[in-house]
Structure 1
Amino acid sequence: MAIRQPVFKPYNQQQILAIPPTLDELIPQTHPVRVVNEVINKLNIEPLLKAYHIKGSSSYHPQLLLKVLIYGYVTNTYSSRKLAAACKESVYFMWLSSMGYPDHNTINRFRGVRLKDALRSVFEEVVKLLAEEGLLSIEEVNTDGTKIEANANKYTFVWKKSIQTNKEKMKKQLTEIWQYAQQIASDEDKMPEPPDFTEIDSEKVKATIEQLNEKLAGKESIDKKIKDKLKYVTKKYPESIAKYEQQETILKDRNSYSKTDTDATFMRMKEDHMKNGQLKPGYNVQISTSNQFIVNYTIHPNPTDTTTLTLHLAQYMASFGKAPKGLTADAGYGSEENYTLLEKEKVTAFEKYGMFDKQQHENHNRKFPFAADKLFYNQERDCYICPMGQQMHFIGNYTRKTSTGFEQNIKRYQAKNCANCPLNGACHKSKNNRGIEVNENLKRLKQQAYEL
């Protein structure tokens, strides 16, 4: 009886193919690599070509490198060394690169140098292509922000408040030494009044120290403590004030920055694993989306979303030549400045204001029955009516500026006789007659937001 043997498919590594297959035949028609290839073939890469010099040796085509980089990101391959290896080992990368073998330095240089200034235009081209295909809309967008921790040392930071405190100490020390010099000065060599230290800078500090050394030099009866202080400020202050000025130049309008990444600001992150509100260096990334596709992005050092919309919308308009028709955002953006901006650009703002959600609950209305926004306004007499029916008349207005320089016009109204009112103490906490401040423009804009 014959013993049956297992049957195997032919296996011969030395087998020669009469007609070798092309790389294209090895790629399934529905594979994602074909989508990447097709999309990038449709892009206008003219801005990317400008990053290359005319002279010098030939370079790998930027379209090739862009395809390799994008498909690498699609497949979670980010390392330049792994991408270079994939161009030799993966049929998909070999097909994209047409059997080109860029090394890791070439890929890294393309990503960090060539693509740096052209990335925005490449991104915009992809968004426009997706819009043409009907996959997204650039007319209606949703905007929100998220904080991303910077790759920076969280223990090496500079705080604006610390600089201001140290500068105040310098002012106090210099003033103290100057006043001592006034006390011991002779009638012939009398010291003038101390310099105006309202604003302190390196030139003023240097000039003050020179004058003090000149006036106190050679005097034998100087107090030892003052002499030591003068020696210390002469040695340390010029260098310190120069350092503070440099740090303030980097800070600008921010309150802090990281020494190892000066663009990063210290802010509270959403992921607070220690539950202690620890500040970490990071960025506030603003993103606008449509149908879950990102259509616009900007990066900000501001911790709050409120002050980011102006620059974010400006970038959107620079990218697409116009503002969106509608914008949806949460209450973090509901400020008078943002409402005014969107109204000016004729953008329908589906944007809550700060107290919107709380005002929808009856508990809030019962807790604050005498709030200013619940008072009746008599337009003919330009007065508000208090809960007891007393008129609160207009007593003046003033203008105040926000941290971004936006001007708000505030009107003030006040009652005339609250002393004997039975609601005194419940209606308001002031010891005098009740007064309220009203921002009519913000009130109008909030009403529009409420209706939307």
Structure 2
Amino acid sequence: MQRPNYLQGYFNPKQLKLPLSFDIKIPFDSEARTFDEVFRRIDLNKYIVAEPKVGRIGYNPVNMLKLILFCQMENITSLRDMAKAAQHDIRIMWLTDELKPSHQTISEFMKHRLKDSIEKLFYDLNQYIIDQEKIDTDRLYIDGTKIEANANKYKFIWKGSIEKFRDKLYKKISKQIKKLNDQYQEIGIIFPIYETYEVSYIENILKFLEREVEQTGISFVYGKGQRKKALQRDFEKISEYYIKVKEYNDTIDVIGPDRNSCARTDHDATFMRMKEDHMRNGQLKAGYNVQIGVSDEYIMHLDIFQERNDYQTFIPFLEGYRRAQGIYPKYPVADAGYGGLKNYRYLKDNQMELYQKYSMYRKETANQKYAQDPSRPVNFKKDEDGNFYDENKEKLTFLWKNKKGNDVYEVPSSKRRVEINEELWALQKEARENLQSELGIELRVERSIQVEGAFGIIKDQMRFRRFKRRGIQNVKFEFMLIAIGYNLAKFHNKKYRIVQ
């Protein structure tokens, strides 16, 4: 039996079909709907740098910004992937009026018209989320992580090595200046010899030798069989030393006083020990210390540091938060890497509560035998006259105050030296009592869930483990975009979150 033919000869499966509007094709719970709802209430024009008046008129800057931000929300971070999504994703077509820029255009827009205003956009968006979600900004959960820089891990500069080479060079310069003095002391010209030399001083010697070359009229010779005159050899040596001293000084200035290393391919990156050690040999890698503050699951503040430890970042991080939000958080909660005398003093001076662990917090709270050990200086007795007595009731002798600000005492019989800092102990006791209270337990649990959860999503779900840009300002811009995308996605997910 012959089967009937139901296909019509004039039917074309590629022909245009209704509906023609993308709006009908996008579901009510789409990410694009949430994105459009947010940015209908935020004027994006104020974050875009004015376009130069020369050349052709560019793409609509608001639509360009929408394209970039929505791609960040969808974890599309590659410029080529953004350009591809603009051509094929109907959500982006609907949001941007079918804008189809190239990846070079997106890059130029980011570099020249968005980079300088991204921070203001980030905090204004956060303020909108705060108003909509009624976020409790009194609680700020703080933590940091090290993210690898876009730098060659095998090309590094160590400050100690540069200083060692420079010291050796100073000795060579002294030797060369002594030779010059032997030649010119007959005419009354003597160059002082120092232990270290400024670039300007070597430059003055070089200028003197240049004048000598001009006055004598000698011509420099090079190559085999050519004998150089003494003046040419002196001039070349001093020129070489001048270039090397200037290079060493510039490199040390780039590293700065607070760092010991930098990467050759990204001078702002510092070599740090990372958790991701693929070679399992403790290899240092160039990276940045990324600090974030989270409230109610949203990243409220972030900053990028070159410091290898978290302790030194705590005060500048909170100062940045105050500049952005106008106030300090009442409960800045952090782990053991942030607790210390300087940070505790800062918190007390600015009316913030002590909910930061210190280095020995876990041992003191988990091991009662250790906490109550009479040989620990914190458990020494003190009389009315301010004298301290050890576990054997022997009076301690005060020696001096060390660089850390601790009072150094000595046990006369055993010559054992102990450090005592009553201010630090009192602040640690307050922090310990706060953390062990009902509120402190809640804050500790929330900190581990929220801020470490945020890093977990960024690193594992968003697969952001290495910066693409170089330079600390460019790195901060890149992570600001990541944080904006994270907050927008979180806002959308919480909006449609099903509460069981």
Structural mapping, 1:54-203, within 5 Å = 57-134=56-133, 136-175=135-174, 195-197=193-195, 199-203=196-200
RMSD between aligned residues = 3.7
1:21 matched residue in structure 2: 20
Post-superposition offset of 1:87 = 2.7
Query: 2:388 touches 2:396 (CA, 8 Å); kept in 1?
Result: yes
2:408 matched residue in structure 1: 412
- Work out the CA distance in 1 between the residues paired with 2:7 and 2:186: 115
Asked if residue 450 in structure 1 is aligned to residue 432 in structure 2, the reply is yes
1:33 matched residue in structure 2: 32
**1:311-367 Cα shifts (integer Å, max 9, x gaps):** 211221111111111111111111222212222222223111111112234387299
Higher relative contact order (CA 8 A, sep 6+): 2
The code of the aligned residue for 2:286 comes to P
The code of the aligned residue for 1:331 comes to A
The SS at the match of 2:303 is strand
The code of the aligned residue for 2:394 comes to Q
Question: TM-score scaled to structure 1, two decimals?
Answer: 0.80
Query: Do the aligned partners of residues 193 and 260 (structure 1) sit closer, same or farther apart at CA in structure 2, a change above 3 Å counting?
Result: closer
Structural mapping, 1:221-260, within 5 Å = 233-253=237-257, 254-260=259-265
- Work out the CA distance in 1 between the residues paired with 2:188 and 2:395: 62
The SS at the match of 1:348 is coil
Query: Do the aligned partners of residues 13 and 169 (structure 1) sit closer, same or farther apart at CA in structure 2, a change above 3 Å counting?
Result: same
**1:285-315 Cα shifts (integer Å, max 9, x gaps):** 1111123221111011111111111221122
The SS at the match of 1:294 is strand
Query: 1:298 touches 1:312 (CA, 8 Å); kept in 2?
Result: yes
Query: Do the aligned partners of residues 171 and 72 (structure 1) sit closer, same or farther apart at CA in structure 2, a change above 3 Å counting?
Result: same
Post-superposition offset of 1:188 = 8.2
Query: 1:393 touches 1:413 (CA, 8 Å); kept in 2?
Result: yes
Post-superposition offset of 1:395 = 4.4
1:223 matched residue in structure 2: none
**1:221-255 Cα shifts (integer Å, max 9, x gaps):** xxxxxx9x978853532111000111122111211
1:265 matched residue in structure 2: 270
Greater shift, 80-89 or 255-264, is seen at 80-89
**Over alpha carbons, which structure has the higher Rg?**
1
Query: 1:383 touches 1:394 (CA, 8 Å); kept in 2?
Result: no
The number of equivalent residue pairs is 414
Post-superposition offset of 1:203 = 2.9
- Work out the CA distance in 2 between the residues paired with 1:363 and 1:190: 78
Post-superposition offset of 1:89 = 2.7
- Work out the CA distance in 1 between the residues paired with 2:371 and 2:355: 27
Asked if residue 333 in structure 1 is aligned to residue 330 in structure 2, the reply is no
Post-superposition offset of 1:283 = 0.7
2:497 matched residue in structure 1: none
The SS at the match of 2:51 is coil
Post-superposition offset of 1:83 = 2.6
Structural mapping, 1:300-311, within 5 Å = 300-311=305-316
Asked if residue 387 in structure 1 is aligned to residue 391 in structure 2, the reply is yes
Query: Do the aligned partners of residues 212 and 411 (structure 1) sit closer, same or farther apart at CA in structure 2, a change above 3 Å counting?
Result: farther
The SS at the match of 1:281 is strand
Query: 2:365 touches 2:371 (CA, 8 Å); kept in 1?
Result: no
Greater shift, 89-98 or 130-139, is seen at 130-139
The code of the aligned residue for 1:200 comes to Y
- Work out the CA distance in 1 between the residues paired with 2:117 and 2:205: 51
Query: 2:255 touches 2:262 (CA, 8 Å); kept in 1?
Result: yes
Structural mapping, 1:313-352, within 5 Å = 313-352=318-357
**1:364-396 Cα shifts (integer Å, max 9, x gaps):** 729975232222223x21111112111114444
The code of the aligned residue for 1:437 comes to E
Greater shift, 343-352 or 142-151, is seen at 343-352
**1:97-153 Cα shifts (integer Å, max 9, x gaps):** 112333333222222321111111111122111111226432211111111111111
Query: Do the aligned partners of residues 73 and 3 (structure 1) sit closer, same or farther apart at CA in structure 2, a change above 3 Å counting?
Result: same
- Work out the CA distance in 1 between the residues paired with 2:371 and 2:329: 39
Post-superposition offset of 1:397 = 3.5
Query: Do the aligned partners of residues 23 and 334 (structure 1) sit closer, same or farther apart at CA in structure 2, a change above 3 Å counting?
Result: same
Higher helix content, 1 or 2:
2
Query: Do the aligned partners of residues 144 and 3 (structure 1) sit closer, same or farther apart at CA in structure 2, a change above 3 Å counting?
Result: same
- Work out the CA distance in 2 between the residues paired with 1:8 and 1:441: 89
The SS at the match of 1:116 is helix
Asked if residue 371 in structure 1 is aligned to residue 376 in structure 2, the reply is yes
The SS at the match of 2:133 is coil
- Work out the CA distance in 1 between the residues paired with 2:48 and 2:290: 28
Query: 2:405 touches 2:421 (CA, 8 Å); kept in 1?
Result: yes
- Work out the CA distance in 1 between the residues paired with 2:208 and 2:100: 69
2:487 matched residue in structure 1: none
Post-superposition offset of 1:194 = 6.6
**1:16-35 Cα shifts (integer Å, max 9, x gaps):** 76x75322111111111111
The code of the aligned residue for 1:252 comes to G
1:222 matched residue in structure 2: none
The SS at the match of 1:261 is coil
Asked if residue 298 in structure 1 is aligned to residue 294 in structure 2, the reply is no
- Work out the CA distance in 1 between the residues paired with 2:93 and 2:375: 72
> Which of 437, 441, 447 is equivalent to 2:419?
437
